[in-house]
């Protein structure tokens, strides 16, 4: 019996010694694999996987400003502006500007990069730097200022890393998001946060952008165009804007909205807007009572264009649109949001209110026919235009080298009211340079849904920027 006790005691001592040795080994190990696994969160994994597809973008452009020969002599700046149009264009001040931003590779085989349009706006040269410090010169495949999206292309012998496109259709308020970008030139900076809100509308200069994702992840100048990721590392948005008056308020374009735009930019170099063929206005209490509409939701159809998709679908003036494309329409902004994200050729189901009853129709959208553009121009602007010819240059004493000349102007139109007249030349509509009447038609078609457009009007040697309400 005593012998057995002695054996048990020895076994116990051996066990204690072995446990001590194992504990010492684990303590002295420089880095534990288990600890690595504990530290490698979902965010760490997502950043590691996605970072090679995130690029830094720098664009250089030259700004030219006409100035008088008296500039720099302490004159009032007002007079410098006043004299600017009266002196030889050789009196120019040239300034080289640089814009910094971010982008993300969406097609590694073709070298396609998604970014913001304002990042490469007016760019002369565009340089792209990858995480591995490879540099490329990029060219613009297409850009859309209205959505603030652009697609670039770089040429590489090797297949490039690309991001996985996610979905923004079922975003959850409060879910974790990751932003990667190039703020202030600090390459591949990572910030995290949550989705604060969805379907936000923001105003920037003369445009209103809809359906933005609001986030509290820190983004700064240089983040523009960079990816917004979910916790799995999927692309759910493009970081675009910040609210300058506060911290922790940023905005991103949802990838679901961007898909159609990206496809158009790659295929056509521009966004092809769907043609429905109606004009609408907001509902108010008086209209709701007159049209016997329960509540004051929806938009009222003011006009229906002949032979338009809306006309063919059976839509009529005074119809109230309650749903469009399966989205509830409460206001004009809701209507614009749906139509802007609709591609030409898409089918839009709609629910209407007509004569106290609900009615369902299906709209087969189309590309706006170029042959209808002249009527559209006259309806929106009250003018007719012609190409510049030697005969018209001589008749109107036109100095402009490109653009279209106003040949007819409607009385009581806005342009007639401000003093525009036949012989004036239109050289630009918003960001679109006009060289021919076909250019002008396409620009008006593209701008037809805007509230205002800016025209560059030239008379003689002088040019004027004019804002026109549509």
Domain ranges of the chain: 51-153, 176-268, 274-367, 372-469
Tell me the whole-structure pTM to 2 decimals. Answer: 0.71
- Tell me the two tokens of residue 198: 């969805």
CA dihedral 225, 231, 233, 236 (to 10 degrees): -40
33, pLDDT greater than 60: no
Q: Is 118 tagged catalytic?
A: yes
Catalytic residue from among 59, 118, 341, 447: 118
* Angstrom distances, CA of residue 185 to CA of 49, 213, 247, 274: 22, 24, 20, 39
Question: Cα separation of 216 and 228, whole Å?
Answer: 12
Question: CATH number of the domain at 176-268, please?
Answer: 2.40.10.10
Residue 10, pLDDT score = 61
Residue 77, pLDDT score = 47
- 372-469: CATH topology is Pdz3 Domain (2.30.42)
Is the model more confident about 324 or about 8?
324
Q: Is 417 tagged catalytic?
A: no
Average pLDDT of the residues in 259-269 = 90
CATH class name, domain 51-153: mainly beta
Query: Comparing 193-197, 233-237, 279-283, which segment has the lowest mean pLDDT?
Result: 279-283
Is the model more confident about 126 or about 71?
126
φ, ψ (nearest 5 deg) of residue 45? -65, -45
Catalytic residue from among 68, 71, 99, 148: 148
- Give the model's confidence band at 378: pLDDT under 50 very low, under 70 low, under 90 confident, else very high: very high
Instruction: Give the contacts of 40 (CB within 8 A, at least 6 positions apart).
Output: none
- Give the model's confidence band at 344: pLDDT under 50 very low, under 70 low, under 90 confident, else very high: confident
Residue 222, pLDDT score = 85
Catalytic residue from among 71, 224, 437, 447: 224
Query: In this predicted model, what pLDDT tens digit does every residue of 148-203 receive, in sequence order?
Result: 999 999 999 999 999 999 999 889 999 999 999 998 888 899 999 999 999 888 77
Query: In this predicted model, what pLDDT tens digit does every residue of 395-453 receive, in sequence order?
Result: 888 888 889 999 999 998 999 999 999 999 999 998 789 999 999 999 999 888 787 89
* Contact by Cβ (8 Å): 246, 140: no
Q: Is 107 tagged catalytic?
A: no
Residue 236, pLDDT score = 97
- Tell me the two tokens of residue 248: 């922790």
Provide the CA 314 distance to its chain's centre, in angstroms.
33
Calculate ∠ Cα 432-81-118, nearest 5°. Answer: 35
Residue 204, pLDDT score = 66
Query: In this predicted model, what pLDDT tens digit does every residue of 54-108 receive, in sequence order?
Result: 999 998 766 555 544 444 444 444 444 444 444 444 445 556 667 789 999 999 9
**Yes or no: domain 274-367 corresponds to CATH 3.40.50.10310:** no
Q: Are 51-153 and 176-268 in the same CATH fold?
A: yes
């Amino acid at each position: 019996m005593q012998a057995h006790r002695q054996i048990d005691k020895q076994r116990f001592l051996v066990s204690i010694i072995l446990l001590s040795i194992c504990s010492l080994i684990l303590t002295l190990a420089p880095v534990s694999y288990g600890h690595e696994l504990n530290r490698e969160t979902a965010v760490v994994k997502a950043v590691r996987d996605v970072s090679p597809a995130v690029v830094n973008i720098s664009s250089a452009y030259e700004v030219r400003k006409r100035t008088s020969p008296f500039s720099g002599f302490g004159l009032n700046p007002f007079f410098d502006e006043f004299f600017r149009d009266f002196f030889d264009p050789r009196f120019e001040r040239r300034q080289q500007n640089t814009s910094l931003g971010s982008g993300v590779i969406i097609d590694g085989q073709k070298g396609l990069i998604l970014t913001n349009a304002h990042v490469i706006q007016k760019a002369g040269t565009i340089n792209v730097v990858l995480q591995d410090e490879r540099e490329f010169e990029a060219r613009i495949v297409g850009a859309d200022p209205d959505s603030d999206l652009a697609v670039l292309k770089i040429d590489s012998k090797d297949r490039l890393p690309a991001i996985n496109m996610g979905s923004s259709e079922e975003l959850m308020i409060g879910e974790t998001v990751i932003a990667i970008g190039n703020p202030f030139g600090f390459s591949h900076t990572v910030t995290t946060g949550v989705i604060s809100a969805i379907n936000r509308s923001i105003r920037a200069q003369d445009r209103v952008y809809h359906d933005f994702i609001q986030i509290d992840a820190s983004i700064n100048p240089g983040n523009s165009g960079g990816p917004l990721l979910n916790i799995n590392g999927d692309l759910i948005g493009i970081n675009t804007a910040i609210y300058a008056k506060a911290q922790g308020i940023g905005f991103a374009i949802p990838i679901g909205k961007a898909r159609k735009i990206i496809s158009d930019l790659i295929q056509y170099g521009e966004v092809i807007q769907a043609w429905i063929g109606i004009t609408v206005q907001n509902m108010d209490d008086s209209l709701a009572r007159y049209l016997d509409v329960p509540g004051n939701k929806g938009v009222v159809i003011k006009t229906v264009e002949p032979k338009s998709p809306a006309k063919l679908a059976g839509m009529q003036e005074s119809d109230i649109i309650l749903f469009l494309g399966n989205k509830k329409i409460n206001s004009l902004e809701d209507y614009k949001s749906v139509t802007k994200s609709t591609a030409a050729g898409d089918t839009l189901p709609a629910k209407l209110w007509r004569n106290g009853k609900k009615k369902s129709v299906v709209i087969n959208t189309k590309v706006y026919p170029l042959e209808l553009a002249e009527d559209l121009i006259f309806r929106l602007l009250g003018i007719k235009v012609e190409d510049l010819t030697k005969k018209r240059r001589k008749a109107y004493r036109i100095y402009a080298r490109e653009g279209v000349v106003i040949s007819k102007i409607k009385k009581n139109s806005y342009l007639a009211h401000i003093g525009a007249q036949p012989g004036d030349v239109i050289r630009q509509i918003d960001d679109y340079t006009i060289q021919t009447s076909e250019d002008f038609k396409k620009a008006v078609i593209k701008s037809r849904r805007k509230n205002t457009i800016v025209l560059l009007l030239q008379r003689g040697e002088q040019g004027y920027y004019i804002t026109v309400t549509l």
